[in-house]
Each structure stands twice: as C-alpha cells, then as structure tokens.
Structure 1
Amino acid sequence: MPMTIDHAFRWWAMEHPDRDMIVSNGERVSYAAFNRWVGRVAAMFVDRGFVPGDRTVICAENSTEWVVAMLASIRAGGMSAGVSTKLVKSELDWLVQDYTPRVLVTDEANAPKVARAPAVLIDCAEIAALRQGEDRDVRLALKDEDITIIVTTSGSTARPKGVMFTNRAICEHNMWQLVSDPLTGPYRRLLVAPMSTSAGTMPFLHTLLSGGTAFLESRFDAAEALRLITEEGVNFVTGAPIFFQRMADLPEFDAADVRHLDIAHTGGATVVQPLLEKWAAKGVLLRQMFGQTESGGTGVINARHHALSRPEMCGGMMMFTDVAVMDADGNMLPPGEQGEIVLRGPGMMAGYWNNPAATAEAICDGWLHTGDLGVLDELGLVRMVDRMKDIIISGGLNISAAEVERVILELGVEEVAVIAARDDKFGEVPMAVVFGSVPETEQLIAHCCEHLSNFKVPRYLIRSEEPLPRLASGKISKPALRALYGGDKPLPERVR
C-alpha cells in the first residue's frame, strides 16, 4: 500500500481540486493549483541536481513558498529539514555541515546567514515565480519507509538534533488522531508556530493528509487568530495556554461565536482555572496534551470528559498509543509514583539524524523515553511533573539550557547553570547563574548574542559568591538553584 504523503496529496488534488489547501497572507491556493505548483518546483530541484535521498534545508519565515519547498523535496524523493530563522550564523553553519543539503531554500531576510552554504541556494521568490507556468512534474516510486521529514530540535544537549520521520509514521499519526479525536466539520486548522518546528510541520502535514485547509500565519496575533476562528470557521487550534489567554483577553472575545472550535489542544504549561472556564462557557474545551518532537509533536491528549474535572492531566492510553511511567531501571511504576514518561504508538521518530547513540538511548524495547517526569493517576492518566531534559519553553520555543551553558563556558567561566525565570510575556526566559571568573555583564551578553539566537540569550544574570550546589553524582543541582532563585523569588535586575 503506497502510504506516502505525496500519494495522499495527489489523491486530494484529484478528488477535491477546487478546495482551498492553504490560506496565507490573504491568498488562497486550491488543491489542484497547489499540486501543480509543487510539481514545477520539484522539477526545478531535479534540474539543479537533486536526487532521491538528498536533503533540502529550509531557512525562511512561514509562507506558502516554505511548504511548497518542503513538499517538492518529498516529491523528488528527498528529505526536508527546516531550521529556525532565529538561529545565528554559527548555529546554521553547524547544522548545514551536519545535514549536507543538496538544496538550501531561503528568503530575502535570511539569505545573508546562508550565503556561503555549500548547497544550491534557491530563494523563495524563485519558488513564488513557479506558481504559474508550464506544467511539469516528478513521479517516483516513493516508499512508505522513506525518511521524508527531519525536524530540528534543540533537545537537551548542547547541539541540535535532527528528528527523522518516515512517510508511514506521519500518515499513521494523522489517521490515529482523526479516529481518536474526530472533528464534527471540515478540517480547518490554524497554524502559527514556525514551520521549522514539529508544532508547525506536523499540523500542516496532518491538514494536507486530511484534505483540510491550512490557515498559515507568519506569527501569532490574537485578534487575527480570533477572526479566523469566527469568520473562516477554523475548528482546530493547538497552542500554548498564553495563546488562548491573549484571545480571551480581547474585548471582542465576549461576543465571538467560537462554538465550532472542536479541538483546542494546549501544552507546555497548565491551563489556569479561570481561562479554562472562560472558554468552556463558550462551548470550547481546552485540553492538555503531552508529547514532544520525537513523538510527532502529540503523544497523548486528555479526553473531552476529563477536560473540566481533571484539567491538569495530559491524557492516558489512546487507540494504538500507550503511555506509562518508568523508573531508572526500566520498571513500570504504579499510579502515584513519579518516574520518566514513556510512550509507544503511531507517529514515533525513526531516529536522530547522524546520531545512532542518541537514538538507542531514546528508543528502548519499542518505548520512546521522553526524558520528562510524570505520575499516573488511578485512571491511567498522566500528569507531567518536570522536565528531566532541562528545557526552557519561552513563548512556545524550546531553549536547551545545555546549549546556553556551553556558550557561556567559552568565556572561561568556572561554573554556570541556566534555569527558567518567570516572565509575564513569554512564560519563561533564561536566567544564568555563574560562579568564578565571570567577565563584565556587557561582554558576556555580547558573546551570547554572537553565538545564540536572540530568544536564547539570558535575560537575567546572577553572580554567585559560592560554588554552585551539586548533587551526589557531582552534577550541578538545578532543583537547588530553582529553590534559591526560581518560583516566586524576587528577580534580579534584568540584563537584556
């Protein structure tokens, strides 16, 4: 059975040629027109030397051209790897060297970062120009188990990892969600996350595989998001709680009709009761989900009948998906005991690009080890407790504390630990606690700005007069530092 993304795409273009596939920046593209556009771009890739198995790296802002490039790469038998536009040149250089792309797609704003990349550079404007023209196409015998997507994630290490997915994994993940969490109307999904993330790529592909319409935005704007829900009939939204809070805070929210919003998934933080109740009063259930890039973005989702009575839970066993909590020795733990959350089911990654050791560590005996601490309740529902992997989630973007620490250590600092500091706008921002030969604040921040994306640069700096607390294993004790400086403790003076 040809369970491939391109096969499903071609079928929908034939079955519903005039249906909107994507709506972005006020422009609408039908399935038939989108299919022809992807064919022209795939043919251009082949003209430039692209062969099956090659990689396409995309470094551009959200746009229709972004997704055309991704699907053209897949159609030509290759792998598409998006990278964040927030990365600085040194970060991009490392990723390009790791992925060794044949084609690198960029836009005007990001072209200077990749100008000297050893790849065929294609500007989004060139892709846009192929929206019309003579029909051309590429037809290959694509396979279910072909790697088609690589999602770049910071993970918990000092270097990003490429999470690989096959055609089959993505198709099965979509079918799993359609069956286990169905919509009552046509699939119309709002996409605001960067396409380089699993929160952007996977929802778009799910929309395509479902024959739905993707409303792709360059960024989240609360007023525009609410307008799309009410005027365009958007019925599927996934986002951090702060997204739903900003929409609820709008003066027009009280009069907005959002009853058709069938699915409103949220994660990364607990939904506060007043926000939950405000949306519930309008007929919308905000439901916690748990997952990570390695699980296709979504792992388990809280059921509708638990959304109000157990809002802090992230779901339990679902059709074809198991969730469990495991101790350090690999033993399954009973309800009430804290351990690592593990998952198995459709949509799991095939592994990490060029990193078999990390793959073997993450997937053991068919279980994906998430690196997150959790507890099961008596119903088998899981509640996330903390992040073993030490990720800071700032405005919905993941920041690896280890990556920031690595950059600061380059300055000769003896000890550094990066933890999350609360922030009204972004939820969390990085705070660096340093000890030893620490340079002037301006020098430290300037060094971070040179080697890290802006959102990863510490906003707070604490100079400890004592060596940082350590665990029995010798590692710096992040829990102790959070107890000293996190939570409701007064924040130091902001340095950025």
Structure 2
Amino acid sequence: MNGTLIDAVGWWSELRKDEPAIVTQDDQLTYGELASWAGAAAEWLVAKGLKPGERVTILATNSLAWCVMSQAVMQAGGLLAPVNPRFTVSEASHVVGRYEPAFIFYDQDRAELAAAIGKSAPAIGLLPLSIVDEFRHTKPSGRKLDRGIDADTPVVIIGTSGSTGYPKGVVYSHRTMLGGYADFAIADARAAHHPRVMMFGPLCTSAGYYVLMLALVLGGTVFVEDSFDPVKALKRIAEDKISILMGVPVFFERMAACKEFAGTDMSSIRQLQSGGARVSRELLITWMGKGLVFQQLYGQTEAGGCATINPVASAVEFPEKCGRGMPFTRLATIDQDGNFCPPGVPGEIVIKGPAVMVGYWRDPEATAKVLVDGWLRTGDLGVIDEQGLLTMLDRLKDIIISGGMNISAAELERVISVFPNVLEVAVIAAHDERFGEAPLAVIFAPRGIDIPALLAHCREQLSAYKMVRYVAISEEPLPRLAAGKISKPALRKQYANAHLVLDKLG
C-alpha cells in the first residue's frame, strides 16, 4: 500500500464531485466542495509557516470545520494531534505539553481553555477554529503542495484512554490507515460500497476520526453527530438511508427503548456493528425483529479501532464471538511466557495486521512493551475456539466504557489516591442504565471520607464524563491477589449490584 489518504479522497473528489461527503446537523459538503475548501486551507497553513511533521491540535467538539481542518492539516504535511474537548486544563495541558503543537485551533466554548494552555506554552499559535470558514469559497491555486508526503508519513496522533494513568498518543500513518480500510473493504465488499455511516464518536478518538476517514476513503458519506440522541438517530437511519450503524450496546438499547423504534425503516442497513461490551440476548432478539444481526467487533486504538468483526454467518449462531480477524489481520492468544495458546485456552489477545499503529508518540519504551515480534500485545484476555473465532473475556487494562467513552480506572485511581484519608482505592465498572457502565470507586478509608470534597477534588482534575458516579467506603483493606495487587475480580464480584444499593453521585 504505497498511496496516501490524500490520493484516495482526491480520487473521489473527481469521481463523486457532486455527491455528499460530510453531513452535519445543519450543513453538508460534497466531495468537490471538500477538496476545494481543504485545499485552500492547506495553502493557508503552509503560508502561516507550518512545517512538515509539525503538530496541529484541534480543541473542539464535532463540526464541519473540524473535519475540513483535519483534511487541510493532512494536505499541508502536518501531524494532526487533537485533544479531547472535554478535558480540564490539567488534562489538556499535559497532553499538549507532550505533543508540542505549532498551532491550537479551538471552538468558541474552548476559548478560555485554550488561553489557559497558552499561558504555559506561549510559543503555540492559538487560533479560533472558525477561521477555516474564511476559505470555504476560496479556490486553491491548483499547484501541488510539495510536502514530502508518502505512505509512511504520520497522519494523526489519537489519545488512548490512559490505562496506566496518563493517555498515550497512538500514531497512525497513511499506510496503517489504508491497510485497515483495505481489510474492511475486502472482508465485506457490500458494506464497503459507498457506505453511509452515522458517526457518534468524538473526532479526537478512533471512533470518530478513523470512522470519518473510512467513509471518505471508500467514497461514502459520513453523518457527523455532535452527541448521541436515540430519537434523532432513528430519524437519521430512516431518512438518510444509513448503511453502516456502529456503537456500544447501550446506544442500541436506548434506540430500542424509544417508541419510534418499531416504525423506523431500517432496510438500508447493511452492517450492524457493536463493540466494547457483549450484546444481551434480549437486545439481539429485538434487533433481529428488524431483520438485522449484530456483528460483534473487537479492537483497540492501537489496532486502528477494529481488528476483527464477526461475519454474519457466525454472528447468528455465535453472537458473543468477535470473528477470526480480517483478510490481512491475524489474531492469537499468548500465555504469561509469550507462548501461543492452543484453541480453548484463555490468554492475552495479540494482533498482527496492517492497521496496527506505528507506535506511541515519543514513547519508545512503551511501544517496545506492546509491539513484540511483530505482534501487538493488547492487554486484553480472550479465548479462540477450534473454528478460530475470538471471544473477548475481560479488559485487562481496566478500561470502563461509559456511553461509548473509554475511562481509565488507573487515571481515576491516581487522582483519588492523593485525597486525604485515602489509604487504598480501586475503580471498577458499575452497571448504569443510561451509559452501560459508570465508574465505582472502592476506597479503604478507616477514618472516613468527605465525599462532597472528594468530588470537588476530582472535578478539578478530571473531565465531567470521567467522574466517579458511585463511592463505596471500606473499613477493611481491599482484597489482594497473590502477587500483591488489589484483586479487582474479587471487587467486581462483591460490588456486582452496587448500582442497586449505592446512591448515584452527580
């Protein structure tokens, strides 16, 4: 794969010039309009002094301007380094300090946040994202920008959920992204043909940016949502003929719970993807009543977001399984010594394929720990059966998936552990009817805890979506494994019904 994402999107800008490429709630762009607008903005970035490989941060919620600026940065040879717009000053400053961007483009609601970041990094150019609007009707010069871009040029840094306490930056290149899209297109040619995809994920994540580029590379249309609303989603499915619908199970549960669900025409859907948690038998039956079969997927940011999707043929009989990989992607499990496990024996899931990341941004040590002998060590526990089908058993990295957003238990534990009277803390997932999961902090504090003060402390350090929703105070030390680590399996069993007996906070 020696081409670039720019080549692929450029191809469609000629072939599907008048077809919609990106649609938002109140605006849309054809492929021809996207090419012209992004091209003009790219020339402006070069004129502003952006050098090849320099980072450009977007600090904003999903919007048409976000999408256009991301294309402009790519064409200008910059490295897109978005930051979660829900981050606090502390969180955002930490990430920006590692990326060292030349520019930060912010939306109106993030102006104060950008200014606060800028105080500690005065060399960064702070600009409103709305500045890209000035180039919407400006025709680019037509001269090809000579920026030295090839298949191995890094395209974007996507932040992980930070399972070790701080988010890492996963680097994708043109080659890794195109390799993943080729895998997808060959695995399901029908779904990949000019897909119409509804995108709920924040553009700063793989569930956002990677999906955006998937639709554009395949000549499809991406419908960019700024948030998830089940009624609006059902309306979009019917009116805009969505062909690929993807999300975490709680999204599908909320749509199924709407009175509009029964009357929604879903005949356009070619692929129904779900990941992050298992789909219940009840939910499977509900959507099968609409003639649709859930295809469970498994992946992580380091593998392009999706390493395997359960084919329809096996999804009906084995709905809990995640498939056997992709045409160019291999799955296996290994034991603690790094030996491959035989069928039926649980082990750490490892992945080898074209979509696996280049590495972590400026972190060769962490990269070397997970990229071993050509395999990505996921840190997740799974088992592969005799047919080669994967079942994901547990998230060894302690990620809580709440409303489709990944929350690092380690990050919450780091923040809570420094609060007065906290001797031990473990954060696990509690059931939540609205978001699927919510963080539960189990705290060993024999002298007690001022919970309102603890929550205030957390708000200063953490984004609102990461906030602990349940707190359990233990008068005894937390259970531990033989190796000395806190036993989260024991805590999960002990607090399995925490959502029924504890008051929800916030």
Report the TM range for the smaller structure's normalisation: over 0.9
Contact 2:307 2:326 (C-alpha < 8 Å) held by counterparts: no
TM-score scaled by structure 2?
0.95
Say whether residues 1:176 and 2:186 are aligned partners. no
Task: Please list the CA deviations of residues 426-457 of structure 1 after superposition, one character each: whole Å capped at 9, or x if unmatched.
Answer: 11111111123554111111000000011111
Q: Which residue of 1 aligns with 2:145?
A: 139
TM-score scaled by structure 1?
0.97
Q: Which residue of 1 aligns with 2:270?
A: 262
2:405 pairs with one of 397, 411, 421: 397
Contact 2:195 2:221 (C-alpha < 8 Å) held by counterparts: yes
Which is worse superposed, 294-303 or 375-384? 375-384
Q: Which residue of 2 aligns with 1:416?
A: 425
Offset of residue 167 of structure 1: 0.4
> How many Å separate the matches in 1 of 2:39 and 2:496?
52
> How many Å separate the matches in 2 of 1:333 and 1:109?
50
Contact 1:316 1:381 (C-alpha < 8 Å) held by counterparts: yes
Q: Which residue of 2 aligns with 1:74?
A: 74
Contact 2:103 2:127 (C-alpha < 8 Å) held by counterparts: yes
Unaligned 5+ segments in structure 2 are: none
> How many Å separate the matches in 1 of 2:58 and 2:325?
35
Which is worse superposed, 178-187 or 196-205? 178-187
Q: Which residue of 2 aligns with 1:430?
A: 439
Contact 2:343 2:386 (C-alpha < 8 Å) held by counterparts: yes
Offset of residue 489 of structure 1: 7.5
SS in 2 for 1:246: helix
SS in 2 for 1:243: helix
Q: Which residue of 1 aligns with 2:458?
A: 448
Offset of residue 297 of structure 1: 0.4
Write out the 4+ residue segments of structure 1 that deviate beyond 6 Å after TM superposition: none
Say whether residues 1:485 and 2:501 are aligned partners. no
Offset of residue 238 of structure 1: 1.1
Q: Which residue of 1 aligns with 2:321?
A: 313
> How many Å separate the matches in 1 of 2:286 and 2:338?
41
Question: How does 1:73-472 map onto structure 2 within 5 Å?
Answer: 73-116=73-116, 117=118, 118=121, 119-136=124-141, 139-140=145-146, 141-183=148-190, 186-412=194-420, 413-436=422-445, 439-472=449-482
Q: Which residue of 2 aligns with 1:43?
A: 43
> How many Å separate the matches in 1 of 2:472 and 2:237?
43
Contact 1:265 1:286 (C-alpha < 8 Å) held by counterparts: yes
- 96 and 259 in structure 1: CA distance in 2 versus 1, 3 angstrom threshold: same
> How many Å separate the matches in 1 of 2:232 and 2:346?
41
Unaligned 5+ segments in structure 1 are: none
**Number of equivalent positions:** 496
Contact 2:295 2:310 (C-alpha < 8 Å) held by counterparts: yes
Offset of residue 136 of structure 1: 4.2
Percent of aligned positions that are identical: 42
> How many Å separate the matches in 2 of 1:242 and 1:489?
16
Contact 2:37 2:139 (C-alpha < 8 Å) held by counterparts: no
Contact 1:485 1:491 (C-alpha < 8 Å) held by counterparts: no
> How many Å separate the matches in 1 of 2:442 and 2:381?
24
* One-letter amino acid of the structure 1 residue matched with residue 491 of structure 2: L
